[in-house]
């Protein structure tokens, strides 16, 4: 109890600046797929991880935090999130994830809609989420636009990397957006790529300004970054046949950096995906055939993909309750590994699927997602195993900066925990 009180007091006294910190004695989860390390040490300096593991020396002058009896881990990276773009589901005015009537498609840059003060950011940070892969929604075209990587720190500079990837909707959803069929979606995709290449060859002659243009000049510029391999192309597909069609695209566009999203039937062709060396961001527990394109859904999909050698991360898409539910999904994948006939993940693999896995899929494994030396210092101290729902963070750092352990939810809880009568309605206070 004394140790816990000391830790809490230390966190409250920590100024909101990056400093040298040594967290000692905890069970360290690096997030790279390795097993947890008991009695480890994590050293943070200048906003980066210096070292993590057993036998790590504590630098002179470092702030030392005793984490004995606790877990110290990399922060959770929420993949395919709309956090900071959507304030309230179902309220279109608060939704900047998709643009239904815009003339632009691939050119849309969602980083310009990121709200660092969004209520959800502090809420999710309190559950160990430190970064998010913010993804646009396809509303009027198969091209949803350019997604961003953000941090969930309590500061106004949320965007880590703008225009980090392009998102494309194919499969059943893409067919609807393209006019009613999958072939129409692929025709639109290839035509858009061809128009982008026309723009490269002769920008002056490119007709992208007309009202009926399928690809604007801005769209063409965004797509050239994809064709040149400067940013990954995230493609949402579920059916095995659609996955094969996407895996064939590099034959015509050899610089494409593909990332498959969804992939409910991926286990059927796991070896083909592994051979193509294409990472996957998949739903953890998709086991119901909600559409014809995922009739082969199984909770063992992620485990079977991983067993075949496919790099797999978990998607927050469809998560009920918030981005932090990713750790519940990861924990469930550990649990189903114990069920006869099912295939899940071991603890290290499961934790990596919500930390380094998403980071590596979008080309940021060298920056975020683990406690490897040199990575951004996104560190969480938990009161127990982070894949157990009963565990909660007791301290969090983002870019080496200690974060406040409060949110609007905790403030409302404290306000109404012991309500008192006053002159104003209980929902208000005089300022």
Residues 222 and 287 in one domain: yes
CB 243 within 8 A of CB 273: yes
Listed in sequence order, the residues at least 6 apart from 414 whose beta carbon sits closer than 8 Å to its beta carbon are none
Q: How confident is the model at residue 9 (pLDDT cuts 50, 70, 90)?
A: very low
- The chain-wide mean pLDDT, for the chain, equals 90
Residue 374 lies inside a defined structural domain of this protein? no
State the Rg of the chain over Cα: 23
| pLDDT mean over 374-389 | 97
Q: What six digits make up the tokens of 137?
A: 């929604």
Residue 425 lies inside a defined structural domain of this protein? no
**Residue that terminates a domain, selected from 368, 401, 421:** 368
The label of the residue with tokens 């995922």 reads 294
Closest CA to 346 of 316, 307, 308, 379: 307
Residues 65 and 101 in one domain: no
* Predicted local distance difference test score (pLDDT) of residue 1: 41
Residue 331 lies inside a defined structural domain of this protein? yes
Burial 258-293 (b: 16+ CB within 10 A, else e): bbbbbbbbbbbbbebbbebebbbbbbbbbeeeeeeb
CB 220 within 8 A of CB 196: yes
Residue 423 lies inside a defined structural domain of this protein? no
* Predicted local distance difference test score (pLDDT) of residue 240: 97
Angle 8-47-72 from CA coordinates, rounded to 5° = 45
Angle 72-58-352 from CA coordinates, rounded to 5° = 30
Q: Which CATH number belongs to the domain containing residue 335 in this structure?
A: 3.20.20.140
Task: Pick the more confident residue, 8 or 135.
Answer: 135
Half-sphere exposure of 204 (CA within 13 A, CB side): 0
Listed in sequence order, the residues at least 6 apart from 67 whose beta carbon sits closer than 8 Å to its beta carbon are 7, 23, 24, 25, 26, 381
183-205: per-residue pLDDT in tens? Answer: 999 999 999 999 999 999 999 88
* Predicted local distance difference test score (pLDDT) of residue 97: 79
Residues 232 and 260 in one domain: yes
Residues 309 and 219 in one domain: yes
| pLDDT mean over 56-65 | 96
For residue 226, how many other CB atoms are within 10 A of its CB? 24
Rounded Cα distance between 270 and 305, Å, is 5
Lowest-confidence pick of 73-77, 174-178, 284-288, 387-391:
284-288
Rounded Cα distance between 378 and 122, Å, is 15
| pLDDT mean over 205-230 | 86
Residues 111 and 38 in one domain: no
Residue 380 lies inside a defined structural domain of this protein? no
Residues 39 and 179 in one domain: no
Q: What six digits make up the tokens of 289?
A: 């055939």
Rounded Cα distance between 169 and 172, Å, is 9
Q: Which CATH number belongs to the domain containing residue 56 in this structure?
A: 2.30.40.10
Residues 63 and 86 in one domain: no
* Predicted local distance difference test score (pLDDT) of residue 27: 98
* Predicted local distance difference test score (pLDDT) of residue 11: 46
Lowest-confidence pick of 33-42, 55-64, 238-247, 288-297:
288-297
For residue 302, how many other CB atoms are within 10 A of its CB? 32
Lowest-confidence pick of 14-18, 213-217, 230-234:
14-18
154-174: per-residue pLDDT in tens? Answer: 999 999 999 999 999 999 999
| pLDDT mean over 314-339 | 85
Host domain of residue 404:
2-74+391-413
Q: In what helix (H) or strand (E) does residue 37 lie, and over which residues does it extend?
A: strand 37-45
Rounded Cα distance between 289 and 299, Å, is 12
Q: Using DSSP, state whether 278 is helix, strand or coil.
A: coil
352-379: per-residue pLDDT in tens? Answer: 999 999 999 999 999 999 999 999 999 9
CB 54 within 8 A of CB 24: no
Residue 375 lies inside a defined structural domain of this protein? no
pLDDT at 4 over 90: no
pLDDT at 73 over 50: yes
| pLDDT mean over 119-132 | 95
Residues 298 and 349 in one domain: yes
The label of the residue with tokens 């809490």 reads 8
272-325: per-residue pLDDT in tens? Answer: 999 999 999 999 888 888 889 999 999 999 999 999 999 999 998 755 457 888
CB 393 within 8 A of CB 128: yes
Rounded Cα distance between 222 and 424, Å, is 53
* Predicted local distance difference test score (pLDDT) of residue 423: 65
């Amino acid at each position: 109890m004394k140790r816990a009180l000391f830790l809490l007091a230390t966190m409250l006294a920590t100024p909101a600046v990056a400093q040298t910190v040594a967290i000692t004695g905890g069970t360290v989860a690096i997030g790279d797929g390795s097993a947890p390390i008991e009695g480890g040490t994590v050293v943070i300096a200048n906003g980066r991880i210096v070292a993590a593991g057993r036998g790590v020396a504590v630098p002179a002058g470092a702030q030392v935090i005793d984490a004995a009896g606790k877990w110290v881990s990399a922060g959770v990276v929420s993949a395919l999130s709309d956090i900071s773009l959507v304030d309230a589901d179902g309220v279109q005015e608060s939704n900047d994830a998709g643009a239904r009537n815009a003339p632009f498609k691939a050119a849309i840059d969602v980083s310009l809609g990121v709200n660092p003060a969004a209520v959800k950011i502090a809420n999710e940070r309190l559950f160990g989420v430190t970064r998010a892969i913010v993804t646009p929604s396809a509303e009027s075209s198969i091209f949803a636009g350019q997604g961003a990587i953000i941090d969930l720190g309590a500061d106004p500079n949320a965007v880590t990397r703008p225009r980090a990837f392009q998102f494309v909707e194919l499969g059943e959803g893409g067919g609807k957006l393209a006019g009613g069929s999958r072939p129409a979606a692929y025709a639109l995709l290839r035509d858009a790529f061809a128009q982008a290449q026309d723009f490269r060859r002769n920008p002056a002659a490119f007709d992208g300004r007309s009202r009926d243009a399928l690809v604007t000049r801005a769209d063409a510029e965004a797509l050239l970054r994809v064709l040149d391999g400067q940013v990954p192309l995230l493609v949402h597909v579920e059916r095995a046949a659609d996955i094969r069609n996407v895996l064939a695209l590099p034959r015509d566009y050899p610089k494409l950096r593909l990332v498959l999203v969804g992939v409910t039937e991926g286990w059927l062709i796991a070896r083909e995906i592994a051979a193509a060396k294409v990472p996957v961001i998949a739903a953890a527990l998709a086991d119901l055939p909600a559409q014809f394109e995922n009739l082969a859904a199984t909770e063992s999909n992620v485990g079977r993909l991983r067993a075949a050698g496919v790099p797999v991360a978990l998607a927050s898409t469809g998560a009920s309750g918030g981005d932090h539910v990713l750790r519940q999904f990861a924990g469930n994948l550990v649990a189903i590994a114990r069920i006869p006939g099912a295939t899940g993940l071991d603890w290290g693999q499961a934790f990596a699927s919500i930390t380094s896995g998403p980071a590596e899929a979008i080309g940021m494994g060298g920056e975020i997602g683990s406690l490897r030396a040199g990575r951004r210092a996104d560190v969480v101290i938990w009161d127990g195993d982070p894949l157990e729902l009963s565990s909660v963070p007791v301290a969090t750092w983002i870019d080496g900066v200690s974060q406040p352990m409060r949110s609007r939810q905790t403030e409302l809880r404290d306000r109404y925990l012991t309500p008192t009568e006053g002159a104003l309605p209980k929902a208000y206070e005089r300022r």
